[in-house]
Chains A and B, each alone.
Chain A
Amino acid sequence: MKSIEELKAIRDRTLKEMSIRDNEDKMRIVVGMATCGIAAGAKNVMNAFIDELNKRNINNVTVSMTGCIGICRLEPVAEVFDATGEKTTYVKLDAEKARRIVAEHIVNQKVVTEFTVGAAER
């Protein structure tokens, strides 16, 4: 170790990996992964969320799973909770849509209305 910069680089890189272990007031993405969700491709959706967040170096959002959210015909479903607990439900997702949600909802704080459960039900 010849410099503090080297040390900081290791710190920042590892911190990113470890950020999942610290769950204080963060945004959360919860993907429905019951049988219905998995059959509809929820796993791809989840991986896309994780991958996109990682690519963009976003450490303060966790991705987790839950059981059946109760709207099986609209699977894959994901819920985005912002830091205050406000919930947005996205439905009929695929990997591409997941990436857009990261770009627009997470990064730019704008709900992607066209993918929400409200839009699908209309």
Chain B
Amino acid sequence: MVYRSHVLICNGTGCTASKVPEIMARLEKALAEKGLEKEVKIVKTGCFGLCEKGPIMVVYPEGATYCHVAPDDIEEIVNEHLVKGRIVKRLLLGDKDVEDVAKSLDNVGFFNRQVRIALRNCGVINPEVIDEYIARDGYMALAKALTEMTPQQVIDEIKKSGLRGRGGGGFPTGMKWQFAANQVSDQKYVCCNADEGDPGAFMDRSILEGDPHSVIEAMAIAGYAIGANQGYIYVRAEYPIAVQRLQIAISQAREYGLLGKNIFGTDFSFDLDIRLGAGAFVCGEETALMTSIEGHRGEPRTRPPFPAVKGLWGKPTILNNVETYANIPVILLKGADWFNTIGTEKSKGTKVFAIGGKINNTGLVEIPMGMTLREVIYDIGGGIPKGKKFKAAQTGGPSGGCIPASHIDVPIDYDNLLELGSMMGSGGMIIMDEDNCMVDIAKFFLEFTVDESCGKCPPCRIGTKRMYEILDRITSGKGEEGDIEKLELLAENIKQSALCGLGQTAPNPVLSTIRYFRDEYEAHVKEHRCPAGVCRALLKYFIIPDKCKGCSLCSKKCPVGAISGEIKKPYVIDQNKCIKCGVCMDTCKFAAIEKK
């Protein structure tokens, strides 16, 4: 069936939460009323990456990209655009005054600076229709591997591509596959890590929601390469849309015989199952993940033996991240040499980042390795809101660290980030401006690891808790001389003695903030002062007598009656009563209240 127009609507988690179901219903109804159901096709897609501007809708053939679409806009889009062919310019993303809409996106740095490999199909195809994946060369790489290549040739191509794991560690994927392929065993397994526990990261979710078949295809290829006939996708139950799309995709692949027995008429058979995780951070660690798949409590164990030797149920197993897998089919089709043209010396290809925090374009971006932080923040991210100053970017989540403004021009790749005391991690990137307190940030991440520590080993269970207590003391104005040194000592000991990656990396956010912002720590400890004005216990509110008009508004709003004075004369705050809630500052019409 050929339609004269396709209307693509984002059905990612972000947009779905902003009334997309209602928008879809209104659109279907409006099309039916105009008798356009046979002319206009509605296509559900995955995330476009620009969730901040969602819901996103793209109308073809014009390619008009509409943002912040509300249910009440649907009538206008149908009557104007779909019936009369007049673009609804007020909803256009990007340049609203162009003659040719295709050009409206030309100046939107968010899109044109990206290189999309892992996200190639997100926002382009309907993830619930396998034919659309196939139309974009889906399953061709599997066909090529099975019919034209030996398992060793597949591994060699992946090795040559230089692909490194996108789940955090950055281990060379081809080498991992080689280890597992070298094992002799009656049974091997292929696993996919879709636990995505890093707070703020959502690239794996978006790939599963927007392009589930790319992961399925890659896992079958991995199965062929290492000699496994069964795979498991470990995904957190908190991702209901991703789980549902995966289920649909797996059953469609089975129906087409792309999973199951004798794929493409060869003697290779492979099948996949989903295992749901309860959303514990530690279950993203490979040994804990496998223990959890086996049906036990998700706790890590010591390595070696590595999973490639003894993994799931004691059998050789490979585990890769969702984004790592999403790269595989493209590498096999276009070749390792092509992949090698993108990226830096030791980090090939692209990386998807979820940018959040103090940035204008919150969202999901895929950049070539080697792009600088400055380009990511200003060209793609649209800069810092309200013209504030960039202070640091946190990458690698609770296992990573921060990159201060002085290193904004460093090319982003695995090795440079490690050298700066941070890491690539799974791709969370939180941008911080002058109003963020670095001690507070470190405390935030440590609180997360204290909560998520599984409790099996003492360095992590007790050590991170002690570190947290020291940070809590510092941020509440009770810091003592020597606290910073104690933090450093504890951190080194935990890093060296914890059982798994969770504990070994937990001190990183603290160490890296001490490394670059020691003066802020010292201000907290020695002067009981928070330079960024974040730590409440260290703040005091004052009324500036020269600016106060004596209107009495603040004293009426103060919930504890801490402000007193005479009308038309400057008021005063009683520091003993003040609970530092900030209401007075928000109410004052003359900006006469300051916090120090």
Interface residues of A (CB under 8 A from B): 1-4, 7, 10-11, 13-18, 20-21, 23, 28, 30-31, 33-34, 46-47, 50-51, 54, 62-67
Most buried by A among B3, B6, B84, B256: B84
Contact, CB under 8 Å: A66 / B135: no
Q: Taking CB as reference atom, which chain A residue is nearest B38?
A: A47
The residue from B63, B124, B135, B264 contacting A11, defined by CB atoms under 8 A apart: B135
Q: Collect the chain B residues with CB atoms within 8 Å of residue A46's CB.
A: 4
CA distance A65 to B86 in the complex (A): 8
Q: Collect the chain B residues with CB atoms within 8 Å of residue A11's CB.
A: 134-135, 137-138, 140
Asked if B263 lies at the interface with its beta carbon under 8 angstroms from chain A, I say yes
User: Contacts A1-B256, A33-B85, A65-B85: A18 and B135 contacting too (C-beta < 8 A)?
Assistant: yes
Q: Collect the chain B residues with CB atoms within 8 Å of residue A4's CB.
A: 140, 143, 147, 264
Interface residues of B (CB under 8 A from A): 1-6, 8, 60-63, 83-86, 102, 124-125, 131-132, 134-135, 137-140, 143, 147, 256-258, 263-265
Q: Taking CB as reference atom, which chain B residue is nearest A4?
A: B143
Q: Taking CB as reference atom, which chain B residue is nearest A30?
A: B85
How far apart are A72's CB and chain B's nearest CB, in angstroms? 14
User: Contacts A34-B84, A67-B86: A50 and B139 contacting too (C-beta < 8 A)?
Assistant: no
CA distance A88 to B445 in the complex (A): 63
Interface pairs A-B: 9 shortest CB-CB: A65-B85, A62-B61, A14-B135, A1-B257, A14-B131, A66-B85, A15-B135, A54-B2, A2-B265
Q: Collect the chain B residues with CB atoms within 8 Å of residue A21's CB.
A: 6, 8, 60-61, 63, 124
CA distance A52 to B85 in the complex (A): 21
Query: Contacts A15-B135, A28-B61, A51-B2 given; 14 further ones with Cβ under 8 A?
Result: A7-B134, A7-B143, A11-B140, A14-B134, A14-B135, A23-B60, A23-B62, A30-B85, A31-B85, A33-B84, A50-B2, A66-B85, A66-B86, A67-B86
Q: Taking CB as reference atom, which chain B residue is nearest A53?
A: B2
CA distance A44 to B378 in the complex (A): 49
The residue from A2, A50, A65 contacting B264, defined by CB atoms under 8 A apart: A2
CA distance A62 to B344 in the complex (A): 39
Contact, CB under 8 Å: A20 / B135: no
Contact, CB under 8 Å: A10 / B147: no
Contact, CB under 8 Å: A20 / B85: no
How far apart are A9's CB and chain B's nearest CB, in angstroms? 10
CA distance A18 to B2 in the complex (A): 9
CA distance A70 to B372 in the complex (A): 50
CA distance A10 to B252 in the complex (A): 14
Task: Report 6 cross-chain contacts, Cβ distance below 8 Å, ordered by A residue.
Answer: A1-B263, A11-B135, A17-B135, A21-B6, A21-B63, A62-B61
Contact, CB under 8 Å: A1 / B258: yes
CA distance A97 to B41 in the complex (A): 27
The residue from B6, B62, B132, B264 contacting A1, defined by CB atoms under 8 A apart: B264
Q: Collect the chain A residues with CB atoms within 8 Å of residue B2's CB.
A: 16-17, 50-51, 54
Contact, CB under 8 Å: A3 / B265: yes
Contact, CB under 8 Å: A23 / B63: yes
CA distance A31 to B86 in the complex (A): 12
Contact, CB under 8 Å: B85 / A64: yes
Q: Taking CB as reference atom, which chain A residue is nearest B101?
A: A23
How far apart are A56's CB and chain B's nearest CB, in angstroms? 12
Contact, CB under 8 Å: A20 / B3: yes
CA distance A31 to B256 in the complex (A): 40
User: Contacts A2-B257, A4-B264: A14 and B132 contacting too (C-beta < 8 A)?
Assistant: yes
Q: Collect the chain B residues with CB atoms within 8 Å of residue A13's CB.
A: 131
How far apart are A2's CB and chain B's nearest CB, in angstroms? 5
Q: Collect the chain A residues with CB atoms within 8 Å of residue B257's CB.
A: 1-2
Q: Collect the chain A residues with CB atoms within 8 Å of residue B84's CB.
A: 33-34, 65, 67
Q: Taking CB as reference atom, which chain A residue is nearest B61?
A: A62
Q: Collect the chain A residues with CB atoms within 8 Å of residue B143's CB.
A: 4, 7
How far apart are A102's CB and chain B's nearest CB, in angstroms? 14
Contact, CB under 8 Å: A33 / B83: yes
CA distance A15 to B136 in the complex (A): 8
Q: Collect the chain B residues with CB atoms within 8 Å of residue A31's CB.
A: 85
How far apart are B46's CB and chain A's nearest CB, in angstroms? 14
Q: Collect the chain B residues with CB atoms within 8 Å of residue A34's CB.
A: 84
Contact, CB under 8 Å: B134 / A3: no
Contact, CB under 8 Å: B131 / A20: no
Most buried by A among B4, B86, B125, B138: B4
Most buried by A among B125, B143, B258: B143
Q: Taking CB as reference atom, which chain B residue is nearest A85?
A: B100
How far apart are B153's CB and chain A's nearest CB, in angstroms? 17
CA distance A87 to B296 in the complex (A): 68
How far apart are A52's CB and chain B's nearest CB, in angstroms? 11
Q: Taking CB as reference atom, which chain A residue is nearest B258?
A: A1
CA distance A23 to B8 in the complex (A): 14
CA distance A66 to B60 in the complex (A): 13
User: Contacts A1-B256, A7-B140, A7-B143: A63 and B131 contacting too (C-beta < 8 A)?
Assistant: no
CA distance A16 to B60 in the complex (A): 14
Q: Collect the chain A residues with CB atoms within 8 Å of residue B6's CB.
A: 18, 20-21
Contact, CB under 8 Å: B139 / A7: yes
Q: Collect the chain B residues with CB atoms within 8 Å of residue A33's CB.
A: 83-85
Most buried by B among A14, A30, A33: A14
The residue from A2, A17, A47, A62 contacting B1, defined by CB atoms under 8 A apart: A17
How far apart are A55's CB and chain B's nearest CB, in angstroms? 10
Q: Collect the chain B residues with CB atoms within 8 Å of residue A30's CB.
A: 85
Q: Collect the chain A residues with CB atoms within 8 Å of residue B134's CB.
A: 7, 10-11, 14
The residue from A3, A18, A64 contacting B62, defined by CB atoms under 8 A apart: A64
Q: Collect the chain A residues with CB atoms within 8 Å of residue B125's CB.
A: 18
CA distance A17 to B265 in the complex (A): 28
CA distance A66 to B84 in the complex (A): 6
Q: Collect the chain B residues with CB atoms within 8 Å of residue A14's CB.
A: 131-132, 134-135
Contact, CB under 8 Å: B60 / A10: no
Q: Taking CB as reference atom, which chain B residue is nearest A9?
A: B134
How far apart are A11's CB and chain B's nearest CB, in angstroms? 5
Q: Collect the chain A residues with CB atoms within 8 Å of residue B256's CB.
A: 1
How far apart are B369's CB and chain A's nearest CB, in angstroms? 26
Contact, CB under 8 Å: B4 / A18: no
Contact, CB under 8 Å: B131 / A10: yes
How far apart are A63's CB and chain B's nearest CB, in angstroms? 6
CA distance A53 to B143 in the complex (A): 31
Q: Taking CB as reference atom, which chain B residue is nearest A61?
A: B61
How far apart are B81's CB and chain A's nearest CB, in angstroms? 9
